Amino acid sequence: MTILSASSFAGEADKIVAVVNDDVITQSELDNYFKISKLLMGVEKMPNPRLEENLLEERLNALVNYALVDNMPESLSYLRIDQSEIQKENLRILEEFASEMFGEEATIDTLKSYFENAGLEWELSMRLMEKELMYNAVTERYLAFNYPELSNFQKFNVDDEELLEFYQQIKDSLRMPLSYHLSRIVLSPNPSEQRMMQINRKANQVLQALSEGEDFRSIASIYSEDKETAANGGYLGIVHRGDMLPEVENSIFSIEPGNMGVIQSMEGIHILYVPTRWADSARVYQIFISMLPNSEDSLRVLQKLDSVTARLDRGEDFAQVARIYSDDPYSREQGGDVGNVPVDSMDVSLLSILTMLEPGEYTSPIQSPFGYVIFKLHEVNLGEPVDFQEAKEQLKQNYFLRQRQQVINRWIDSLKQQLYFEQRTIP
């Protein structure tokens, strides 16, 4: 294998990133496939640059593998599959995907528009997806012919001694995270001075009415900007610890039953009434006055975000940047440190991002209803090791998949030896 720098082809209209026999893999193919992968993952950008680079490298390796299989020597012709079958299967999958994503009335044309709006070339995307299907089908056929025990999990056998050895190798990876030690930089599109005056004026008007004996529920129905609860007199229901923003929760559980309290969060001003409170829960009413951003606020925070990401990209200390820029008063002085955050209290989308990070890494900016957040992972606190007997079936599946992949990898390596193969570094 020869590796050349793609930068030496800067004058070309479309850089060549790899060659397999007469098949040329271009930068545009790689870019398109990279975008498809992220589109199907539901992300515009991977959580951090390392993961972005890893995915790009994985996609290049995949395209090389597809080309290797497509150029198999004649001695392996028994593995070939008719292209029309692949095209038919690809259309079936895409129709199913369109229905799941856009509803039963959606068509391939709906999906085509979706891809094109995302900056993807539809015909090229179709070819790339067909190549992926062809590769998967051919490798399955290769296993079925040459390693039948690895083509069907139900027929796969492994003795306990071998499985136990595998368990010892991977048992730490089977431990489930209980919590993540995190720091964060919160960038909120804070209201302008003029808008803040309007917000405070409204809050004072509400508090004045309440102090004069007006019914809380009546005032909530008129003034609260949480439309869902305003229609019910501001009733939030029974609130448990962990349900609300920390600052709001602290206020709720410090208010004596039958009294009111006021707290300002990153989302707005919360005027709270707690008629009943228990040890870990409370019945709560709220009048909410929003401080969520308008267009001018959003523009200001984007400018601030550029400054923060530039400093982090230069390698500046995360804690120091947090102390300077973070709009979260509860963690800013601690350099953004929010301590150990239990998995159970996390949003699923954040959890999926954190599972991809290594300690010491931080995420790309994550947009939220109240601005942008950049998280840094310090440590993953794991649960107890999984018992071998309890994990036995899962271990068998993992071992089966690993054995399959090892066999496929060896076969792909042998194809690289038999065919002309040249890969160039990605700029």
Please state whether beta strands 16-20 and 421-425 pair in parallel, antiparallel, or not at all (unpaired). Answer: antiparallel
Whose CA is closest to 322, among 187, 425, 220?
A: 187
Q: How far is CA 278 from the centre of its chain?
A: 37
Bridge partner list, 182: 339, 377
Tell me how far apart the alpha carbons of residues 332 and 337 are, in angstroms, rounded to a whole number.
8
Is residue 376 within 8 A of residue 184, CB to CB? The reply is yes
Give me the DSSP letters along 122-186.
Answer: HHHHHHHHHHHHHHHHHHHHHHHHH-GGGS-GGG----HHHHHHHHHHHGGGGSPEEEEEEEEEE
Burial pattern 341-372, b for ≥16 Cβ within 10 A else e, equals bebeebeeebeebbeebeeebbbbbbeeebbb
Tell me how far apart the alpha carbons of residues 387 and 176 are, in angstroms, rounded to a whole number.
12
Q: In which residue are the tokens 């136990």 written?
A: 164
- Rounded to two decimals, what is the model's pTM? 0.68
- In one-letter notation, the amino acid at residue 162 is E
Do 2-173+389-425 and 193-290 have matching folds? no
Whose CA is closest to 196, among 297, 291, 130, 103?
A: 291
> What average pLDDT does range 381-403 have in this prediction?
92
Q: How far is CA 2 from CA 10, 369, 422, in A?
A: 19, 49, 5
Q: Which fold has domain 2-173+389-425?
A: Triger factor/SurA peptide-binding fold (1.10.4030)
Tell me how far apart the alpha carbons of residues 413 and 417 are, in angstroms, rounded to a whole number.
7
253 vs 43, residue with greater confidence: 253
Domain ranges of the chain: 2-173+389-425, 177-190+295-382, 193-290
Contacts of 65 (CB under 8 A, 6+ apart): 135, 412
CATH architecture designation of domain 193-290:
Roll (3.10)
Name the least confident of 36-45, 257-266, 283-292, 354-363: 36-45
Whose CA is closest to 188, among 268, 270, 247, 242?
A: 268
61-114, pLDDT tens digit by residue?
999 999 999 999 999 999 999 999 999 999 999 999 899 888 888 899 999 999
Please say if the pLDDT value at position 3 is more than 60: no
Q: What is the CATH number of domain 177-190+295-382?
A: 3.10.50.40
Tell me how far apart the alpha carbons of residues 287 and 275 are, in angstroms, rounded to a whole number.
14
- What's the pLDDT score for residue 269? 96
Is residue 211 within 8 A of residue 221, CB to CB? The reply is no
- At 368 the three-state DSSP class reads strand
- What's the pLDDT score for residue 370? 67
Tell me how far apart the alpha carbons of residues 234 and 216 are, in angstroms, rounded to a whole number.
8
Tell me how far apart the alpha carbons of residues 69 and 71 are, in angstroms, rounded to a whole number.
5
Please say if the pLDDT value at position 266 is more than 90: no
Q: Place 426 in a pLDDT band, splitting at 50, 70 and 90.
A: low
